[in-house]
């Protein structure tokens, strides 16, 4: 069974137990999803519920901004990218959908 996890790179390389990851960095920690029935290293934190994952994201992303596609270029004429506050709920939903 896949699990939502935070982990640290091993020798600057994604560990073998990571199915999808490298997202939403918090210092050295990255968020991701483990492979089915993977043996996890001791530096890994497993989020048992989507609410646990969301609370973790909210603990460090309060001041984050994210780019989004604005086809009208309303905020920055001549471009298609604008920024808005990072949506931790959307991030948690997406990561959880990969389990």
Give every residue of the chain whose pLDDT is below 50, as ranges. Answer: none
What's the confidence (pLDDT) of residue 46?
97
What's the confidence (pLDDT) of residue 27?
95
What's the confidence (pLDDT) of residue 82?
76
| 29-33, long-range: CB < 8 A, 24+ apart | 30/6, 31/4, 31/5, 31/6, 31/56, 31/57, 31/95, 32/4, 32/5, 32/6, 32/7, 32/95, 33/2, 33/3, 33/4, 33/5, 33/95, 33/98, 33/99
What's the confidence (pLDDT) of residue 1?
93
Q: How far apart are CA 92 and CA 85, in angstroms?
A: 15
What's the confidence (pLDDT) of residue 77?
53
**Single pTM value for the model:** 0.85
What's the confidence (pLDDT) of residue 42?
87
What's the confidence (pLDDT) of residue 97?
96
Burial class (CB in 10 A: 0-12, 13-18, 19+), 74: exposed
The strand pairing partners of 55, in sequence order, are: none
């Amino acid at each position: 069974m896949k699990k939502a996890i935070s982990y640290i790179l091993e020798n600057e390389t994604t560990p073998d137990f990571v199915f999808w990851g490298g997202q939403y960095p918090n210092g050295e920690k990255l968020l991701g999803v483990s492979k089915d029935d993977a043996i996890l290293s001791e530096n890994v934190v497993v989020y048992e519920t989507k609410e646990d994952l969301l609370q973790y994201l909210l603990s460090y992303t309060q001041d984050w901004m994210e780019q989004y596609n604005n086809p009208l270029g309303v905020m920055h004429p001549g471009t298609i990218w604008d920024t808005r506050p990072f949506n931790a709920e959307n991030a948690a939903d997406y990561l959880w959908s990969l389990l």
